[in-house]
Amino acid sequence: MMTMSCTNRQEQSQFDTWNMYSGDPTGSKYSSNQQINRENVSTLTLAWTYEMDDAREKPASTIQCNPIIVDEVMYLTTPGLKLVAIDASTGTERWSFDPFEGMPAQGVNRGVVSYRNEEKQRIFFVAGSNLYSVNALTGLPDDTFGDGGMVSLYEGLGREVGHLWVTAATPGIIYQDLIIMGTTLGEGPSAAAPGHIRAYNVHSGDLVWIFHTIPYPGEYGYETWPPDAWKERGGANTWGGFSLDVERGWVFCGTGSSTYDHWGGNRVGDNLFANCILALDAATGERIWHYQVVHHDVWDYDIPCAPNLVQVEVDGSLVDAVAQPTKMGHLFVLDRESGLPIFPVEEKEVPQSLIPGEVTSPTQPFPPASLRYAGQRFTKENVTNISEAAAQAVRSRLDSMDTGDVFLPPSQQGAVTFPQFNGGTDWGGAAYDPVDRILIVNASNEAEWISMVPAKPLTEISRFEFGRRTYQANCAVCHGHANPRNPGAPSLEHLRSFLSDRGKSSLSDVLDRGQGQMPKFSSLTDDEEDAIVSFLNKDGQDELLKLEDLELSYSEDIPWVATGHNEFKDPEGFPANKPPWGLLNAIDLDKGELAWQVPLGTYPELEARGLSATGTFNMGGPLVTAGGLVFIGASMDERFRAFDKTTGKQLWMHQLEAGAYATPSTFEVDGKQFVVIAGGGGGKPGTKSGNKYYCFVLP
C-alpha cells in the first residue's frame, strides 16, 4: 500500500550546504542556492584551481571525488588518495594526509565523510583496505579509532578474506554515532569476498552491526542460493553508496551482482540480496524491505549508485518514494514505506543461456517503457549511421553474433550487450529537484559484446595459450586484448613493456597486492601467474603443459569464463550503434516519463565533420540547483557544462585540461556561490590524466 507522509519533507534549508557526498542524506545532488542562475551563468568564471603532484600518466590516474565543504573548509582526495583540506574560497591548502606514505596508492576514492559533535570533528575516508578517521582540524589520525586511527575492512566478514580485494570506493554515511559502510570487491572468476554491509562506532571503530547480503542459514533469502553459498560465494556488495531517511532512521542502498559476474552455475537461484534496492534499519541493520531489479545476474548489471529519496504526486497527494537508476537504463520508483512500485513493473520473459551449467532466470523486471532512458535493443537496424562504410563494417560483424534486446545472455559465439556493462547509469547516479520533482540522470548509450570460453584446458595446452586464457578471464575486462577496455589501465602492449622493464617479480607483486585501480589477484596460483607472464612475453608456444600437472585456482568451480568486456567499435574507433552515445535525461516523476533528453558530449573530430551532437561515454554525476541549472562534466570531450533544467538547453561550457569524471559540488562563502569539480581525466573514459580541481564563481 502506498503511504502519504510528512516524514522527511525536503525543506529548502536542507539543501543550502554541501557537507556530505551527494550534498545531503537523501542523495539529491541539489542546491537551493540560486545566485548562479539561467540569466547569469554565461558569465561564470574560474575562481581558483587546486593542483596536485601525484597524478600518473601510465597507467592514467583519475579523480572521482565529490568534495565536501564544512565551515568554509573543503575536504577532497587526490589522484594518489591523499586526503586534503583547503580553504574553500581560495583553494589554499591547509593540510594533507597521505595514508600510503609515498608508496603507490591502491584503489580509487569518490568522496569523504564528515562527523562532528561538541568534542570532535573527524573526516572518514577509505584508502586501500582501511577506513581512516582523521582529525578535521589537524589532518592527524584519531588514535582512539580502531588501530591508530584506522579499521581494516577485512575484519568482520565471517571468513578469511585477507588474500582478496576489499576496499570502498564510495564513502559511507553517518547515522547518529555510526558510520555505515559498503565495499568494492573483485568481480572475476577468482575468489571474491562477500559484500556484507557493516556499521562501525565512529568513536571506537568497533563493529556494531552487519547485514549479510549473501544470507546465512535461517536468514531471509537463504533459499535463493545453493546451501553453502554463504561460505563460498562473493560479491552482492554495496559499492555505490547510501542514502538516508533521517526521520525514519532507515538507510537505503543498491547492491551489485554476485561473483563470478558472467557464469552462475554455482549459484543457481535468484540470489538475494544481489542486485537489490535495500531498505535497512540504520540503527540495527535489520531488513525493512528489498526489491530485486535483476534476477541471477550474468551481465555485471550491478546497481551502481544509491537511490535518490524523492516524492511523487499520486492522486493529488505527495508520496515518499525512492528512485533507483540502473546500468540497464531502467528507473525503478518505489514507495519508500513499502518498497512496492509506484509505476507498474512487469516480469517479462527473456532469452535463456545456452552455456553448459548455467541456469538463468526465465524473466526479468521491467519498469514502464517511459522509464527506460537508455537504448534497449541492438540489431542490424541499430548500427551506426555516421557513414555507410562504418555501418557496413558493423553489420558484417553482426552476422556471427547474437543480437537483440537487453538481457541477452553471454554466449560462445559472442552476444551484444546493450546498454554496455558500465551502463546506462554508473556510479555518478542521479540528481533530484525537490521543487519540480524532476530527476536528472546521465547515461552512456553504447553497445559492447561478450563471449564465453571453457576455463580449463582439456588435457594439455601450451603455456602461452594457458596464459592467454587466464589473461582473458582475469585481466582483459580492464586491460583489453590490444587497446585497454578500461583505458585508465595499461594496454596489453604496455603490460608487455612493463614486464620487459621491471621483470616477473614486479608483475607478481602487483598481482598479489594490487595497485591503483587494479585489485589484487593473490588467489591466482603460481602456474597461472607464470602463464600470464609467458603470454605477455609472447613465449611458451612450444611448451606443453599437462592438465594433471597444473595447479588451478578457479576452473573447477567456474568452468566457463568471459573473454572480457569487449568494446564494439566501427573501423574508426567510434561506437558501433547509432548516436547519441551519451545522454542527459530529465524525468518527470509525477508523470513517470521523460521531460527532455539531450546528447551529452561530443567527439571533436566528428564536430569537425559537422556531427556535433553525438554524445560520448560518460562517467560522473549531475548537480541541479534552484537557479534552474544542471551542472555536469562526465563526457569524454573534457568539458564542464551547465544546462537549463527545464529545457535541456546548454547555457555555458568550460573546456578543462582533463576530463571531469566526477560529480560537482556547490557551496557559498561570504555571500558568493561557487561550483567546484575535479578534472582528473583517466579512468574508464581513457582520456589523459589530470591533476586539478576547478572552482567557478560569478565575476
- Rounded-to-10 torsion of CA 50, 52, 56, 62: -40
pLDDT in tens, 670-696: 999 999 999 999 988 989 999 999 999
The pairing of strands 83-87 and 438-444 is: unpaired
Record the pTM: 0.93
The one-letter amino acid code at 167 reads: T
Q: Give the torsion sign (CA, 528, 530, 536, 539).
A: negative
Q: Where are the domains of the chain?
A: 29-66+580-699, 456-553
Q: Which residue has the cell 565551515?
A: 71
Nearest to 230 by CA among 195, 260, 181: 195
Beta strands in 284-421 (DSSP E): 287-292, 308-314, 317-324, 332-335, 346-349, 363-366, 377-378, 404-405, 415-417
Q: What pLDDT digit, counting tens, does each position of 99-139 carry?
A: 999 888 888 999 999 999 999 999 999 999 999 999 999 99
Q: Is the pLDDT of residue 9 over 60?
A: no
Region 420-447: what's the mean pLDDT? 97
Contacts of 458 (CB under 8 A, 6+ apart): 547
Residue closest to 12 by CA, chosen among 22, 24, 1, 4 = 24
Give me the pLDDT at residue 489, please. 59
Is the pLDDT at 509 greater than 80? The verdict is no
What DSSP string runs through 440-465? Answer: EEEEE---EEEBEEESS-SSEEEHHH
As a whole number of angstroms, the distance between CA 468 and CA 541 comes to 11
CB 620, CB 641: distance < 8 Å: no
Provide the residue type at 270 as one letter: D
Name the residue with cell 558500465: 422
Task: Identify the pLDDT of residue 516.
Answer: 64
Instruction: Label residue 13 by pLDDT band (50, 70, 90).
Output: low
- Supply 133's cell numbers: 578517521
Residue 530 is predicted with a pLDDT of 85
CA–CA distances in Å: residue 478 to residues 56, 106, 422, 512, 564: 17, 16, 12, 17, 8
Runs of H (alpha helix) within 514-622: 526-537, 604-607
- Longest Cα pair distance anywhere in the chain, in angstroms? 74
CB 428, CB 620: distance < 8 Å:
yes
pLDDT tens readout for residues 155-169: 999 999 988 999 999
Give the C-alpha distances (Å, rounded to integers) separating 281 from 172, 199, 209. 15, 11, 11
Query: What CA–CA distance (Å, rounded) separates 332 from 407?
Result: 17
| 354-405 pLDDT tens trace | 999 999 999 999 999 999 999 999 999 999 999 999 999 999 999 999 999 9
Q: Report d(CA 514, CA 499) in Å as an integer.
A: 16
pLDDT for the residue 486: 52
Query: Tell me: the pLDDT tens digits for 596-616?
Result: 999 999 999 999 999 988 999
Give the CA distances from residue 86 to residues 107, 603, 660, 669, in Å, rounded to whole numbers and listed in that order. Answer: 23, 34, 19, 13
Read off the pLDDT of residues 355-367 as tens digits, 9 standing for 90 and up.
999 999 999 999 9
Give the pLDDT confidence of 641-669 residue by residue, as tens digits. Answer: 999 999 999 999 999 999 999 999 999 99
Where is pLDDT greater, at 12 or 320? Answer: 320
d(CA 379, CA 576): 11
Task: For strands 623-625 and 30-31, give the pairing.
Answer: parallel
What is the edge-to-edge ordering of all strands in the sheet holding 448-450?
415-417, 448-450, 566-567
Name the nearest CA neighbour of 236 among 190, 265, 193, 198: 193
Q: Which residue has the higher pLDDT, 504 or 215?
A: 215
Average confidence score pLDDT of the chain: 93
Q: What is the pLDDT of residues 457-495, one digit of tens each?
A: 777 888 888 888 888 778 876 776 555 545 455 666 666
Confidence of residue 500 (pLDDT cuts 50, 70, 90): low
pLDDT in tens, 48-99: 999 999 998 877 899 999 999 999 999 999 999 999 999 999 999 999 999 9
The residues, ordered by sequence, that sit 6+ positions from 390 with a Cβ below 8 Å of its Cβ are: 383, 384, 570, 571, 572, 574
On the 0-12 / 13-18 / 19+ scale of CB atoms within 10 A, 466 is buried
Among 338, 269, 291, 333, CA closest to 589: 333
Residue 312 has pLDDT above 80, yes or no: yes
| Confidence bin at 206 (pLDDT 50/70/90) | very high
Residue tagged 561473483 (cell numbers) = 259
CB neighbours of 539 closer than 8 A, spacing ≥ 6? 463, 464
CB contact at 8 A, 5 and 338:
no
Taking the C-alpha atoms of residue 379 and residue 145, their distance in angstroms, rounded to an integer, is 55
Query: What is the sign of the dihedral through the CA atoms of 394, 682, 297 and 556?
Result: positive
Q: Find the Cα–Cα–Cα–Cα dihedral 368, 372, 373, 376, rounded to 10°.
A: -140
The pLDDT tens digits for 524-570 are 888 888 888 888 888 888 888 887 888 887 888 999 999 889 999 99
Q: At what angle do helices 492-513 and 526-537 cross, to 10 degrees?
A: 160
Spell out where 325-435 has E strands. 332-335, 346-349, 363-366, 377-378, 404-405, 415-417, 430-433
Topology classification of domain 456-553: Cytochrome Bc1 Complex; Chain D, domain 2 (1.10.760)
Chain center to CA of 498: 28
Residue 400 DSSP code: T
21-53 per-position pLDDT tens digit: 999 999 999 999 999 999 999 999 999 999 999
Q: What is the pLDDT of residue 3?
A: 41
Whole-number percent of the chain with pLDDT over 90: 79
